[in-house]
Chains A and B, each alone.
Chain A
Amino acid sequence: MLTVEQIQDYLPKYLSPREQRELVSQLRDFENRSYYTTLHGTEMLQGDGWGGIEIVNFADGARDRIKGILLSNSCDIAPSNERDFPPRIVFAPLVLLDAFVALLRTSTSLQPEQIGRKIDAVRKQRVTSLFYLPRGGELDDDHRHPFDDLHNIPLQRFLEAKRSKLFTLGQMGFYLFILKLSIHFCRFQEGVLRA
Chain B
Amino acid sequence: MSDIGKTSLPGSLGGTGLAAGFLATRLLLNPLPFSTDYRQSRLAPFIDYRLSPSSYGEHATLFAASKLATATSAALTLESFYVDLMARQERLGREFEQVLFENLWDLYAR
Contacts and interface: CB of A to CB of B under 8 A. Distances in A.
B76 interface: yes
Interface size, B (range): 35 or more
A183 B86 contact: yes
A125 B85 contact: yes
A107 B74 contact: no
Contact of A1 (B48, B83, B90, B100): B83
A7 B89 contact: no
Given A24-B77, A109-B95, A1 B86 contact: yes
Given A17-B67, A17-B71, A21-B73, A2 B108 contact: no
Contacts of B6: none
A106 to B, nearest CB: 8
A104 B73 CA distance: 43
Interface residues of A, number: 51
A14 to B, nearest CB: 10
A8 B108 contact: no
A94 B43 contact: no
B32 interface: no
Interface of B: 39, 43, 48, 51, 67, 70-79, 81-83, 85-86, 88-93, 95-96, 99-100, 103-105, 107-110
